[in-house]
Structure 1
Amino acid sequence: MSFWNPARINEDRQLEIDIRVILGISEDKLKKDLEKVEKKIEKHRESFIGKDVFSMTRKQRANINVRADNLAFERNEILRRLDLIKEAKEGNKC
């Protein structure tokens, strides 16, 4: 090992490093997405609080409920993926 001939990393170690980097990048992205979804949920909740449900049509109430369900589903999917990343990191001991 010298300046012109540096030590080489074996393929297994390089794969571990690559996995750790990929998991870190995806975890950061998912955390940002989770923050965005949480803001959307809070905004939706605030807009729903100010409305009178008795003056709405069934279709309007259904659309509000569908929107809330879709946002909750999206949040749960992101949380599930973050849990998978956490398990993968613990499994690889990154």
Structure 2
Amino acid sequence: MQKIDVHIHAALHRQERQPSARNPADCYLAEAEELIGHLRAQGISRAVLLSSGEKGLDTGNAACCRMAQAHSGFLSWMCNIDTDTNPTEVISR
């Protein structure tokens, strides 16, 4: 049986940030290659990237699409549509 992680976040470029009170170990957002190595070590064979939306920079829809294309044997992705804009315009992109 395959293990699939259906909720991961990654960035085109590693992002350092302040540890959160909820999870002190959460102090950066990994690049896809680093995250894939960690997931494989856990026995996970596929993962689904979730974007931070249309306005997200290194973690937005376009970035997640590029990461999934670069690692198509391991990553898939789900887009996040920004409903603050015209939905027809967003979908056409």
Interval of TM-score (by shorter of Structure 1 and Structure 2): under 0.3
Bigger relative contact order, structure 1 or 2 (CA pairs below 8 A, ≥6 apart): 1
Q: Which has the higher strand share?
A: 2
TM-score when scaled to structure 1?
A: 0.23
